[in-house]
Amino acid sequence: MKNRLLNVLLITFLLGGIFTPASAQFFKKKKKEEPKEQKKEKEKSKFKKYKDIITEKAISSDGLFSVHQVEDKYYYEIPFDKLEKDMLWVSRISKIPNGVGGGYVNAGSKTNEQLVRWTRVNDAIHLKSISYNSVANDTLPIYISVKANNYEPVIAAFKIEGFNEDSTKALIEVNNLFLSDVRAITGLSERIRKQYKVKSLDSKRSFISRMSAYPENVEVRHDMTFSASEPPSNARTGTISLQMSQSMYLLPEEPMIPRLYDRRVGWFTISQVDYGSEALKADEKTYIRKWKLIPKDIEAYKRGELVEPVKPIVYYLDPATPKKWRPYFKQGIEDWQVAFEAAGFKNAIIAKDAPTPEEDPDWSPEDARYSTVRYVATTTRNAMGPSVSDPRSGEIIESDIVWYHNHLRSYRNRYLIETGAANPLARTLNTPEAEIGEMMRMVISHEIGHALGLPHNMKASYAYPTDSLRSASFTQKWGLASTLMDYTRYNYVAQPGDEGVRWVRMLGPYDSYAINWGYRYIPDVKIPEDEKATLTKWIVEKEGDPMYLFGGSNSFDPSSQTESVGDDPIKASTYGLSNLKIVAENLLEWTSPEDKDYADLEELYGELIGVWSRYCGHVITNVGGVYELRKTTKQEGISYEHTAALEQKKSIAFLNEHVFSTPTWLLQDEILRNIEPSGSTDRIKSLQSRLLGRLLTTSRLERMIDNEALNGEDAYELVEMMAEVRNGIWAEVKAGGNIDPYRRNLQRSHVMRLGSLLEADMKDRTDISAVTRAELVAILNLAQSNASRYSAGIERYHLEDISALVSEILEKE
């Protein structure tokens, strides 16, 4: 019987029969299915009851998510209708020990910004980091591939502990998210961890200090303590403790319609690779970062009336801001109202004092709902204007301007050095409050410009004729550059006797132009491309006017330099050096009141030398310089144009006179004998060598070779430039004159720099090798033929040493 049954089954299998549950009745009786209600009750039993988790001891806060603290446990109560929603998660340092990060990391510093989504996976909730770098419309087939090839990382996973009464929300415990070292939201970068030899987070010394929910955001503060071998302060503790602020902000269901970027107008941007584009490639789309401003009365706006926005941009002043500076900070913020009026908005940006604890006990500068100007008590000399934006559209959500307390000192020093020769108010360490206030106002306004979306525009200073900066009527109307977003801090061109000129930068015509271009509301726009013709038209209307050009800082464009003023670097630097010589002669008197040491004198003298170096550097950029004009194919003219040969030749003459000749006016005996026992020769050597190195760079020499190839006789030839530099640096050797210690140092540096160029070009063997070798041979001949003209002593020994050094370089090559 047993064998017969096995045979039947085998035949059934071979004939393709299917072994189904029905045919299995021979072996097992079918199990009776559970009633649905009983099955649901059994599934619920896997989770705890809500009242057993969120007990009467709970401290709760309702909002985007409800948050609960039950003794030492913290919970998020996440509505299912908020799953898969785009949220912005911003991590900031709320409190920090002294010295971490070298001064540029402070309370308020943003450590990460990311788009996140909460998702449910079976009985767990996942927190995922989402990227919008690669996109495609979800109606297109390629969307499937974009999703598959951009799988989002899971930041953290949480077991669902239970549900609310109607099962519309899930409860998760979040302690581990904030009490573990989760790199996506940490306060310590990899660089800082390595610098201070951070070992691990100590969870026993870490805790959650605050958790609050609001209608559109959830705010968390948690203190983290790390073990570190070399902490920057309190070294014996072996510890770095800081408080983190985590802000999670619900982004709009429908993103703002982004505005397409045009490189001819300066904006901070976001970029996306659009795989659904009709272009025959993955099309990179770049959008500007901007606040969303919509007129309250669109019809009145269309008629050209100034209209308030539905939601203005509001900045709160940090309660830590000294009261005497608050009016200047507010002015700096609201100065931008004029630019927004050019875009059709009134009262578009407003400054307010932060509410007191009595007015709003929950107000915090780290709260993502508020944009603030933070006043940071550190010795760092800087200010910053960061912002947080929606990566889907570029919409700026909030921003925190950072003012470092010691930045006042930088502006006081620069004011004295750069304007003191012609400006009596600057000739003191106790700068009048109104003058300092005006400087602070413009710094805050500059940083607000960044937070509105504007980057630096270094071409703006080149828009104004240099001599116009000596005019009171011109500077009071137009400022020092066409935008506040240039690094044109002070008017160093104005000379003694030029009365009534403006000394400090201010907003200019480019600022109103850029704000109008980025913020003017264009009705009936459905997609970004709908605006393109209008945006292009606004640019073309200003074509050819230097006041509306944009250029970023680079190493080759004389018209896009940091800290420069005017359209003629040689003339501006000549004026600047003339003023510096007056300041150098009076620096001791202006910085050394009775019964005080010389620390301020030493500091100001060091900064004066730095300013001299900067002025000379502006002229160096002319040599091998290339002007960049941002154009499209529809515009006439070329995008890159070499500096004229005569301008380059005049620049070398300037350098020979002011840089490679010993700047004896810097060697003020009364200053040097009061600030140091020695070091003047090394200081001058370092300055001259650094500037010579900037002049003789491979990239600059390559541009000169390109220019000669393209323009022939109209170009300033590399051979000619090198010979003129040599004739300047070695002039006294050829004439048999005195070679002082400063010149000897410079001549050695010249040989060493030529040797470095020759070595760097050894592989490629370009014209640089040929010209550099010829220069070394010329110097060798000069040293050998002139050494005998000097009697035994340091000058002769110097030339003999130069001969040996050059011979060694040439033999090695």
Among 796, 694, 808, CA closest to 751 = 808
Among 156, 253, 242, CA closest to 205 = 242
What's the length of the chain? Answer: 813
> Domain map of the chain by residue range?
2-44, 53-250, 263-466+511-546, 730-813
Identify the pLDDT of residue 149: 53
Identify the pLDDT of residue 377: 65
- 282 and 117 Cβ atoms separated by less than 8 Å: no
Phi, psi for 48 (deg, rounded to 5): -75, 155
Identify the pLDDT of residue 86: 93
Identify the pLDDT of residue 29: 46
In which residue are the tokens 């909030």 written? Answer: 398
Identify the pLDDT of residue 103: 60
Identify the pLDDT of residue 712: 84
Cα separation, 493 vs 487, whole angstroms: 15
The pTM assigned to this predicted structure is 0.86
The tokens of 229 are what? 């071998």
Task: Give the residue ranges of DSSP H helices in 182-237.
Answer: 190-196
- 666 and 681 Cβ atoms separated by less than 8 Å: no
Cα separation, 577 vs 657, whole angstroms: 12
Cα separation, 175 vs 118, whole angstroms: 16
93 beta partners = 244
The tokens of 739 are what? 């070679």
Helix, strand, or coil (residue 738) = coil
Note the pLDDT tens digit of each residue in 657-673. 999 999 999 998 888 98
Segments of the chain scoring below 70 in pLDDT = 1-45, 101-104, 106-108, 133-151, 274-283, 366, 377-384, 405-406
**Contact residues for 434 (Cβ-Cβ < 8 A; gap 6+):** none
Give residue 453's region: left, alpha or beta (phi > 0; psi -120 to 50): left
Among 511, 462, 526, 469, CA closest to 492 = 469
92 beta partners = 110, 245
Identify the pLDDT of residue 438: 94
Query: Which is it for strands 371-376 and 313-317: parallel, antiparallel or unpaired?
Result: parallel
Residue 2 C-alpha from the chain's centroid: 84
